Amino acid sequence: MKNINNTLTRIIVSLIAIPLIITVGYFGKFYFLTFIVLISCVSFFEFSQLSSKKGIFLNLVMGEISIIAIILNFYFNWLSPVILIIAIPIVLLFCELWRNKGSALQNISSSLLGVFYLGLFPATLIGIREFYADYNNGGYLIISIFVCIWLCDSAAMFIGTLIGKHKIFPRVSPKKSWEGTIAGFIFGLGGMLICKIIILDFLSWNNIIIMGLIIGALGQIGDLIESLLKRDANIKDSSNMIPGHGGLMDRFDSLIFASPLVFIYLSYSHLFN
């Protein structure tokens, strides 16, 4: 009964969240900017709670400020990204001088990891959304990436549960199997191929296939990486913020890890056409 209730909760939350996410992705601008800031800031807070289980104390305030600065800079293009990449470690190192809490080395290392993993990586979604001169095209691509990530995750989970026998990484995630991983990869790639026919006609087949491969592979690696972090901290979910789904890190781990490489590919896609 508990599993049935949990599944029902997951479905209800998904029915509410998915149309909302698609809507903000399509309209972009301030709506999508706010959405990415929310994902990043909440995920960084969850990461700070996860780190505290290991006796590590992130600089939460400066970390959140750094994340917001990175995301806003992606949107407004105020500064060269290199300036922020240099300035943020300097500021965090300076602030650590005054904290005297736990291990300075671990605090700084984890703060920087959190800022770039949960700030810079999601910020590339802004870059993808704002990439095309035809603003609708960016919306269609963002929607397609979301849909393909969902297809990949769902296929990996359901098919892995049904027929998964060969474990892919039992030390990190005992339930994940090669069967589920292959299914997720196929569905992620297949989703991009379908999106090409429906809404991504402005992209070449080369672009579609390469982005599908990135999403199908990197999305699942992102899920494994978050599982590694949670297992190290001996927790099941990053938080219980989303009923039936865990925390925002749990829900967006695949997207967070795949989006930087999609953005890099887009930036140099002319080399592949």
204: helix, strand or coil: coil
133 burial level (CB within 10 Å; 0-12, 13-18, 19+):
exposed
256 burial level (CB within 10 Å; 0-12, 13-18, 19+):
buried
Based on DSSP, count helices (H) and strands (E) in the chain, helices before strands. 10, 0
For the chain, the 3-state helix, strand and coil shares in percent, each to the nearest 5, are 80, 0, 20
CA distance 135 to 87: 31
Each of the 273 residues of the chain gets a pLDDT tens digit; together they read 555 556 677 778 788 889 999 999 999 999 999 999 999 999 999 999 999 999 999 999 999 999 999 999 999 999 999 999 999 999 999 999 999 899 999 999 999 999 999 999 999 999 999 999 899 999 999 999 999 999 999 999 999 989 988 999 888 988 899 999 999 999 999 999 999 999 999 999 999 999 999 999 999 999 999 999 999 999 988 988 877 678 999 999 999 999 999 999 999 886 666
Domain boundaries, the chain: 12-272
21 burial level (CB within 10 Å; 0-12, 13-18, 19+):
buried
Pair of tokens at residue 140: 């269609």
pTM of the complete model beyond 0.75: yes
What is residue 86's predicted lDDT score, i.e. its pLDDT? 96
What is residue 16's predicted lDDT score, i.e. its pLDDT? 87
78: helix, strand or coil: coil
